[in-house]
Structures are given as C-alpha cells and as structure tokens.
Structure 1
Amino acid sequence: MSTKILIVDDDKEIRNLISVYLENEGIQTKQAEDALEALKLLDKEVFDLIILDIMMPKMDGIEACMKIREERHMPIIMLSAKSEDMDKIQGLASGADDYMAKPFNPLELIARVKSQLRRYKRYNAEADNDKSIIEIGDLKINTDTRQVWVGKKEVRLTPKEFDILELLVRNKGIVLSVSKIYEAVWKEDFFKSDNTVMVHITKIREKIEEDPKHPIYIKTVWGVGYKI
C-alpha cells in the first residue's frame, strides 16, 4: 500500500514544490489550499502524514491541528513563515510532531517526512503486535501463535480449548452462557443436554489453574455460564 501525504498551504507554489519532491520519492500527494478543505478531505480519504501551514485564511494551522488531533493520530509537520520560539512551541503544543520555518530546504523537509513516517509505522506495528498478546494476571495468551502461558510455563491447549479460552478472555468480565460459547466455537446450534462445553472448561482449568476446584481465572456463574 503506497504512502499518501496531504499538503495544506494557501500558497500554490509551495504546495506544488513539496508535491514534486515527495512524488519523486514515490509518495502520493493530495493538496488543499486551506484547512477547511483539508478537513473535508480527511473525512473522505486516509493519509499517512499531513504537512500543514500555520498562517492560512478561514482557519489557521493551529486550530486545524487541534481539530485533526481530536480523532486522528498520523504525523503532522507544521510550516510557518514565523521562526520565533513561541510560534514553534505553540505549533507543537497543538499536537504537531515537527515544525519547519519558511523558507525551508525541500530536501530537509523530505528527510523529516521520512523520519516521521518511519516512527509512525514502527509505532503502529508495535501496537498491532500488542493486540495479539492478552494478559490477565499470570495468564498470557498470544492470539496470533495460539500459545498460552501461566507464569513462565507454556501450556498446551487443544484447538477447541484455545478457542474457548480466547473467547472468554476477549470478553473479560462478561458472563457467557454455555449455549453462546458452544455456538461461537463449534459454529453449530446448541442442544440443552450437551455437556461438551463443561467438559472442555474442566480440561482448560486443569491446565491453567493452580487449583482447578478453586479457579481464579475461569469462574462459574451458576445458572448462567462462565466468565474470566
């Protein structure tokens, strides 16, 4: 998937200059001549980074940055003809990740863009990896590799046992009925006399609980079902 950057500046020559340098690096660009147009584009398209001028009509870059930060987390590099420290501080305080004063060296801007993109993509990759690891007390499960540990000891679960445990863990604190567990894991209609779920819960407890008769992870809610 190619990288796409939004360039927001009321100066068409500056927009075009930045666009040429970025596209020479194989990066897609889209331009907006003011912040209001930029906000409309952000509602329609996904961008990896925004280059945002501060001094613009209708809405300045500081206000635009704050609005963008209410919902979005992509890097924002601010541009301004002002170079005073207070303007830089105000730009960064509004949520910008970097700041460049005009006139700027286009090659330096490209270098900063690449640096912010690397940082953002690394952060997203780490966040995605974190989502696959779920920890509750000493219990840890990796939903990607389908591994389970209690403390430092790895526990071997059958595929169905893992599916049940993952379902309960992802719904931590919520009581799931036996029928809901069965239908989610086996993808079949549940029959009231079926004790398959209970048997599997017993086996999971034997593997992850220190004392299966007094479980600390999988609790029975009598007459209702089970919960983590």
Structure 2
Amino acid sequence: MTDPLTGRVLVVDDEVDLAQLVAGYLRKAGLEVDVRYNGTEAVAAVRDFSPDVLVLDLGLPGLDGVEVCRQVRTFSSCHVLMLTARDDEVDKIVGLSVGADDYVTKPFSPRELVARVHAMLRRARTEAHEPASGRQALVIGDLVVDEAAREVHLAGKPVGLTRIEFDLLASLAAHPQLVLSRQQLVEMVWDMHWTGDEHLIDVHIGRIRKKLSDEASSPRYIHTVRGVGYRMGTGL
C-alpha cells in the first residue's frame, strides 16, 4: 500500500459552487487547499500560499486564466492544471503555450480531477526524492542536457524549460536515435496511470522546439516519426 500523497493545491474558478466542490474533493484526498475566485487574487495567492498544483479556470473574468498562468510562470514552477468550459483545441493550446501542464474540459468528474492532481504530485515527489545519479550530461551537437542539475544549454547559453519540458527532452536525449511513442513518453514523464490526452505531448514538444529554435520541417534535435512518436537526432 502506497503512502498517501500530501501537497498544497490552489483552486481558482469564478463558479463558486464548482470551486468549493473541487476543493472539497481535494481536501478529502488529504491535500491542503486554498480557493480564489478571480485572476488578480489568484496571482497573489500563488505567491502567499506557494501551491504545488494550481487548478486554474481558463475563462476567468478580467484577468483570465492565460494571463494568470503567464504571470505565475515568472516566479513559480508549480504544476498548472487548466480548466476550460469550451471543447476548443485553440483554447487548450493557448493555455498550454504559457506554461500549463495539463487541461480538463468542463463538465468533468471531480474524481478525475483529483486523479490528475495526484499524478502531478507523484511526479513532483519523485523528482524531489531522486538523488543525483552522477551520470554525465547528455550531449547532442551543441545541446547539453544535464540530468543531475536539471539544466539545458544550447551553444553555451541556458535554455529555460518547465519541469515537463525538461523531462520530455531528457527522456528523448537519453535514448538517442530510438523512436519513443507518445505512450512511452507519457509513462516516462508522468506515469503509467495518467489518464490525460496523449496529444498533449505534441504541444509540449512544440514548445521545446521553439525554445531550441528547432524547426519541425528540418529538425536538428527532435524528429517526428509519423504515426509513432519522436526520436532525438544528432544535432547536426
């Protein structure tokens, strides 16, 4: 039997009843929860409460979820789970492009949301408790991925990646020339019990490519293998 997870979760939604319902489920799961109902309060609460996971509604009035996420990413590396009332890929991708790690479309099962939060917390706890392996940095051309320090440099300059982006890049770099399916990458970066959309991998890969100035049409680093997944190139 695994130990129960602990952690702090900030829930932000202008639908008061929904926010309280979600908070109640999270508290029953043993988590410390704070709730806010608008974007301005949300940014301040992230600073004060220091959550491990931010459950954030995309359609907040005034300061919307995208802008909240953008501001939060300037000072916090907490996981961000975006909530959207519209089943619209544009909204989802816009939210993820500013640093969200996952999304849930309304209406959703509160139990599913708790499961997503737990998956994020399991990943965070694993990272925190894994000792430095002492492995040498992975070098692909002028790209250096230092797993122990969790740092990436390109042509000697640091590249700022989120936790998810780093783990995806490190997983690919650790298996040079091997094609990894989306499902394999999900299991490496999240865990085998993750229930999200595998195509979130594509969004995160797109963000990594942008930060590496790696064109999908003529990649040096991350190559798409159609119908399968991705592989790390040689950097040449």
- TM-score band by shorter chain is 0.5 to 0.7
Corresponding residue number in structure 2 for 1:68: 72
Q: For the residues of structure 2 that align with 1:5 and 1:21, how far apart are their CA atoms?
A: 11
1:13 corresponds in structure 2 to 17
Instruction: Indicate yes or no: 2:57 matched with 1:53.
Output: yes
Q: Residue 123 of structure 1 aligns to which amino acid in structure 2?
A: E
- How many corresponding residue pairs? 133
Which whole-Å CA distance do the structure 2 matches of 1:21 and 1:6 have between them? 13
> Deviation per CA, 1:103-151, whole angstroms, max 9, x where unpaired?
111111111111111112222333xx23x95989xxxxxxxxxxxxxxx
Q: Kindly tell me: are residues 116 and 2 of structure 1, through their superposed partners in 2, closer, same or farther at Cα, counting changes over 3 Å? A: closer
SS class of match (1:71): coil
Could you tell me how far 1:25 is from its partner in structure 2?
0.7
- Is 2:120 the partner of 1:120? no
Using the TM superposition, give the Cα deviation of residue 45 of structure 1 relative to its aligned residue in structure 2, in angstroms: 2.2
Distance in 1 of aligned mates of 2:47 and 2:119: 25
Structure 2 Cα separation of the partners of residues 123 and 93 of structure 1: 23
SS at match of 2:126: helix
- The correspondence of residues 195-214 of structure 1 with structure 2, limited to 5 A, is none
Match of 1:96 in 2: 100
Sort the Cα spacing of 1:70 and 1:25 in 2 relative to 1 into closer, same or farther, 3 A: same
TM-score scaled by structure 2?
0.53
Per-residue CA deviations over 1:188-220 (Å, capped at 9, x if unaligned) read xxxxxxxxxxxxxxxxxxxxxxxxxxxxxxxxx
Residue 110, structure 1, aligned to residue 114, structure 2: yes
Q: Cα distance, 1:78 vs. partner?
A: 0.3
Of 36, 41, 44, 2:40 maps to 36
85, 90, 96: which is aligned to 1:86?
90
User: The residue matched to 2:75 in structure 1 has which SS?
Assistant: coil
Deviation at 1:85, TM superposition (A): 1.2
Name whichever structure is richer in helix by fraction: 1
Question: How far apart, in 2, do the equivalents of 1:52 and 1:111 lie?
Answer: 16
Change (3 A) 1:102 1:22: same
2: CA distance, partners of 1:124 / 1:92: 24
Contact 1:74–1:120 (8 Å) recurs in 2: no
Amino acid in structure 2 at the alignment position of 1:14? L
* Percent identity (aligned): 35
Relative contact order, CA 8 A, sep 6+: which one is greater?
2
Aligned structure 1 segments of 4 or more residues deviating by more than 6 angstroms: none
Which letter does structure 2 place at the counterpart of 1:22?
L
**What is the rounded CA distance, in whole Å, between the counterparts of 1:84 and 1:9 in structure 2?**
19
Structure 2 Cα separation of the partners of residues 2 and 110 of structure 1: 12
**Aligned mates of 2:7, 2:47 — CA distance in 1:** 17
Q: Alpha carbon RMSD of aligned pairs, Å?
A: 2.1
Q: Distance in 2 between matches of 1:89 and 1:135?
A: 34
Distance 1:120 1:32 in 2: 23
Give SS of 1:95's match.
Answer: coil
- In structure 2, runs of 5+ residues without a counterpart are 138-236
